[in-house]
């Protein structure tokens, strides 16, 4: 299922009216009072040029004040910090030539103002009891917290399943790497899992922003589920890139969900070619990263010296000691770490 994900500007604007903010409190009061409203989340000279009538009040913002002022006709203009109400009862007159697909007078005005001057604008529909946010030509219907939490929990459950499958795919790749039998297909499977996780992560970030203070648990669970995945992406790209091949997993963002089911399309998109059965050899960055107490600088030196993961597996203690920055303690750590990886890889194959 394709899910609409807010843009960065829209996300920032959603954060301004998320649950727990004073502005959202005021908007909810307007909804419960069954009245409508048009509120601009900021002010500038261009907005003033579109404004006629109304009156200047310049008072400290409060939810109750916003609710009372919404009983009058006209727009309410807040300052950029959203801590003061500058004007009320304002008649906004945007350029009628600005295109809009909205139908109601309040919504058409809000959409045109947001498009014309770039200030986020909020409307409350008296008939539908809904809050709408207009930013850069987009209209976002603000969902109730209980609706958002239900969607977020469903997305978290899906993300947990994808993370489990990613862990399994990574273990299979490790086993194939140890036995020098890795192919493009194993990498494509991991790339597909990483891309699906990335898309769910974006969706959940949007839910967390919209939920405001109610999204604390969602943010904590999301952080736990995606922990280490950015590092995994970098390690894979470094392991399978050379002068000829440049693995770039970010290119998968251009594929639709159906295309992500085809390993050949994934391999081609991220730079590995079309032949999914082709054998590939990792440099060893990912496997060395799993060995504790090994600094990134030493790991890079080892990869540079031995040239591949298989070269590392074949290195003796004396060979390891010949690398700059490697002492006996580090050499023993590397040897023991590679032995553990080998044992776990063969156990994975037996399972």
| 151 shares a domain with 65 | no
Q: How far is CA 144 from the centre of its chain?
A: 21
Q: Where are the alpha helices (DSSP H) in the chain?
A: 8-16, 22-32, 45-49, 63-69, 105-117, 145-178, 184-211, 216-226, 229-239, 263-269, 285-289, 296-306, 309-313, 317-321, 328-350
Q: Domain range spanning residue 339?
A: 285-350
What angle do the packed helices 216-226 and 184-211 form, to 10 degrees?
170
What pLDDT score does 221 carry? 97
Task: Choose one of 242, 269, 296: the last residue of a domain.
Answer: 269
- Average pLDDT rounded to a whole number, residues 240-258: 91
SS3 of 211, please?
Answer: helix
What pLDDT score does 347 carry? 67
pTM of the prediction? 0.84
Residue 232: inside a domain, yes or no?
Answer: yes
Which tens digit of pLDDT belongs to each residue from 163-202? 999 999 999 999 999 999 999 999 999 999 999 999 999 9
Which tens digit of pLDDT belongs to each residue from 103-152? 889 999 999 999 999 999 999 999 899 999 999 889 999 999 999 999 99
Residues 6+ apart with CB under 8 A from 283: 238, 239, 240, 303, 307, 308, 309
Could you tell me what percent of the chain has a pLDDT over 70?
Answer: 97
At 79, list the tokens.
């300052």
What pLDDT score does 31 carry? 95
- Average pLDDT rounded to a whole number, residues 275-286: 94
Number of domains in the chain: 3
The CATH code of the domain that includes 133 is 3.40.1700.10
| 313 shares a domain with 344 | yes
- Flag whether pLDDT at 351 surpasses 70: no
Are 218 and 204 contacting, i.e. CB atoms less than 8 angstroms apart?
yes
In the numeric block, the tokens 């590939």 are attached to: 280
Grade residue 345 by pLDDT with cuts at 50, 70 and 90: confident
d(CA 312, CA 335): 9
- Flag whether pLDDT at 2 surpasses 50: no
Which tens digit of pLDDT belongs to each residue from 202-247? 999 999 999 999 999 999 999 999 999 999 999 999 999 988 889 9
Residue 46: inside a domain, yes or no?
Answer: yes
Which tens digit of pLDDT belongs to each residue from 58-82? 999 999 999 999 999 999 999 999 9
Task: Choose one of 142, 164, 198: the last residue of a domain.
Answer: 142
d(CA 167, CA 43): 49
d(CA 246, CA 138): 36
Residue 166: inside a domain, yes or no?
Answer: yes
């Amino acid at each position: 299922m394709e899910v609409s994900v807010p843009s960065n500007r829209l996300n920032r604007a959603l954060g301004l009216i998320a649950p727990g903010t004073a502005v959202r409190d005021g908007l909810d009061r307007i909804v419960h009072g069954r009245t409508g409203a048009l509120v601009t989340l900021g002010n500038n000279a261009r907005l003033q040029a579109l404004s006629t009538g109304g009156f200047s009040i310049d008072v400290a913002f409060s939810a109750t004040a916003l609710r009372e002022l919404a009983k009058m006709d006209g727009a309410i203009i807040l300052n950029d910090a959203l801590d003061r109400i500058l004007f009320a009862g304002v008649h906004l007159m945007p350029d009628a030539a600005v295109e809009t697909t909205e139908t109601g007078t309040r919504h058409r005005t809000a959409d045109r103002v947001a498009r014309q001057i770039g200030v986020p604008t909020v409307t409350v529909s008296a008939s539908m009891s809904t809050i709408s946010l207009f930013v850069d030509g987009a209209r976002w219907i603000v969902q109730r917290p209980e609706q958002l939490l239900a969607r977020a929990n469903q997305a978290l459950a899906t993300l947990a399943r994808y993370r489990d499958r990613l862990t399994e795919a990574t273990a299979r790749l490790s086993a194939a790497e140890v036995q020098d039998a890795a192919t493009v297909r194993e990498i494509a499977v991991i790339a597909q899992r990483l891309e699906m996780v990335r898309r769910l992560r974006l969706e959940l970030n949007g839910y967390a922003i919209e939920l405001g203070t109610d999204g604390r648990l969602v943010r904590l669970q999301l952080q736990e589920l995606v922990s280490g995945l950015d590092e995994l992406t970098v390690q894979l790209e470094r392991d399978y890139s050379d002068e000829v091949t440049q693995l770039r997993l970010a290119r998968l963002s251009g594929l639709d969900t159906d295309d992500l089911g085809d390993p050949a399309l994934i391999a081609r998109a991220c730079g590995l070619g079309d032949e999914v059965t082709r054998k590939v050899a990792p440099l060893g960055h990912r496997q060395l990263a799993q060995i504790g107490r090994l600094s990134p600088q030493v790991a890079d030196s080892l990869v540079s010296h031995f040239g591949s993961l298989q070269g590392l597996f074949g290195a003796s203690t004396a060979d390891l000691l010949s690398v700059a920055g490697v002492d006996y303690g580090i050499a023993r750590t590397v040897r023991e770490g590679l032995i553990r990886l080998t044992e776990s890889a063969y156990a994975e194959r037996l399972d």
